Amino acid sequence: MAETSDFFSRRCVWVNGPIIVGAGPSGLAVAACLREHGVPFVVLERSDCIASLWQRRTYHRLKLHLPKQFCELPRLPFPPGYPPYPSRRQFVDYLQSYAQHFDISPRFNHSVRSAHFDETSGLWRVNSLVAGSGGDSRCGEVEYIGRWLVAATGENAEKVVPEMQGLTEFGGRVVHVCDYKCGEVFAGERVLVVGCGNSGMEVSLDLCEHGAYPSLVVRDSVHVLPREIYGKSTFELAVLLMKWLPVRVVDKLMLILSWLVIGRTEKYGLRRPSAGPLELKSRSGRTPVLDIGALGKIKSGEIAVVPGVKRFSAGKVEFVNGNVREIDSVILATGYRSNVPSWLQGSDFFAADGFPRRPFPNSWKGKSGLYAVGFTKRGISGASSDAAMIAKDIGRLWREETRQGRRSRACMRRCISQLQ
């Protein structure tokens, strides 16, 4: 990298390789694969640590919902002593050791404000706002300029807070699940959990175990599957069956096996969608709930299942069926979304929802040196697959341009002349 100052207050940094936006698992995976190809890079991260979602925005009891072999990043397995479902802390330790192993040093506190492709120079120009700390003088705006841009901010960059009638009048505590740490602070309270995905179910379980009284809002249909079926990971079993059978057949088999293990969920207010769990995941990205104990609490009545919310009022909530319930706190387990549309400009590769328009497995490469990793709706295994293909493609192009010898210097001179 070469760094220059323009005639204004903004600094300009030339990157002789890809600019990676995001230092979560996706960004780390791309960086590690690029390292193996000998390609230089820079990683920009808005937080002050890697994997900020896992370190700062997850609850304490969280464990990986899938077996560890499906959550490894490329080229480095989990330590041998890790359990089948590593804890949040163990996964963070793994990511930190991964960054150290591949010598990945992100530029922290770099919040990307915009990125656009300059047609004249044939380069990406990425503007970031740098927040200094501890008297650091290197704060302000920095523009990174390079041949390739990798969007690695992932599917869960920003929390989703839905508009709900009367919520501002409720008066009680309202938190998003990203700010929830432990149910201890809710002991003795009547808590409404809005959202019945994996987070909503697990938070409800955690609240129960800490003496709270949770009500779980189930507005729509949902697939609830046991995490394991007769000692075998449900997800692993599904992956194995899909090697030989069509998705719809596998779905039917999984639902039959789930019925044998956990019974019919409909009688507890958990209607199943008409599409099977794998088909629904592939079609819409909706992940089935892998139960780790919440269903047992629902069956015993310790977790109440309630319909969609109509409106809130002071200390109360009214549901769409007309029932009213007094509550003390609300936890919004309403998920996250991609933030790519807020900073990527002039590209139609991403749709308005922040996901690539092309479906998997062709969602990793756009035009003009733009790449995307971690947007497959297939978890860490999907991100790892993307990372390997991206690094291979950029590595080939980088070697070709390096052999030409003059392109990087010419691009840098053109870019600086335009800044001036």
Domain check: are 261 and 278 in the same one?
yes
Angle at the Cα of 387 (from 383 to 390), degrees rounded to 5? 135
Domain check: are 106 and 168 in the same one?
no
Domain boundary residue, one of 335, 367, 386: 335
Number of folded domains in the chain? 2
Domain check: are 175 and 284 in the same one?
yes
Statement: the pTM of the whole predicted model exceeds 0.85: yes
- Specify the pLDDT at position 234: 95
Q: How far is CA 367 from CA 147, 277, 339, 374, 388, in A?
A: 12, 33, 19, 18, 18
Domain check: are 235 and 217 in the same one?
yes
Domain check: are 241 and 123 in the same one?
no
Decide if 223 contacts 280 (C-beta within 8 A): yes
Distance CA 351, CA 340 (A): 9
Token duo for residue 339: 């933030």
Domain boundary residue, one of 304, 335, 366: 335
How confident is the chain (420 residues) per 10-residue block, as mean pLDDT? 47 94 98 97 97 95 94 96 96 98 97 96 96 60 96 95 95 97 97 96 98 96 95 94 95 96 94 94 87 97 97 97 97 96 95 91 93 93 95 95 62 42
Domain check: are 138 and 219 in the same one?
no
| DSSP tag of 348 | -
Domain check: are 67 and 88 in the same one?
yes
Domain check: are 284 and 296 in the same one?
yes
Range list of β-strands (E), 180-288: 190-194, 213-217, 224-226, 228-229, 232-233
**Quick one: which H or E segment has residue 30?**
helix 25-36
> Pairing mode, if any, of strands 11-21 and 2-5?
antiparallel
Distance CA 84, CA 267 (A): 32
Closest Cα to residue 110, out of 53, 179, 42? 42
Domain check: are 270 and 380 in the same one?
no
Domain check: are 173 and 311 in the same one?
yes
Lookup result for tokens 């996964």: 91
**CATH value at residue 253:** 3.50.50.60
| DSSP tag of 180 | -
Domain check: are 183 and 317 in the same one?
yes
For 193-196, the CB contacts below 8 A with 24+ separation are: 193/217, 193/331, 193/333, 194/162, 194/164, 194/309, 194/330, 194/331, 194/332, 194/333, 194/334, 195/332, 195/333, 195/334, 195/335, 196/222, 196/270, 196/289, 196/333
Burial degree of 301 (CB within 10 A; 0-12, 13-18, 19+): exposed
Domain check: are 329 and 356 in the same one?
no
Domain range for residue 395?
A: 2-157+338-419
Which amino acid is located at 217 in the chain? V
At residue 270, the 3 state secondary structure works out as coil
Decide if 190 contacts 285 (C-beta within 8 A): no
Domain boundary residue, one of 320, 335, 350: 335
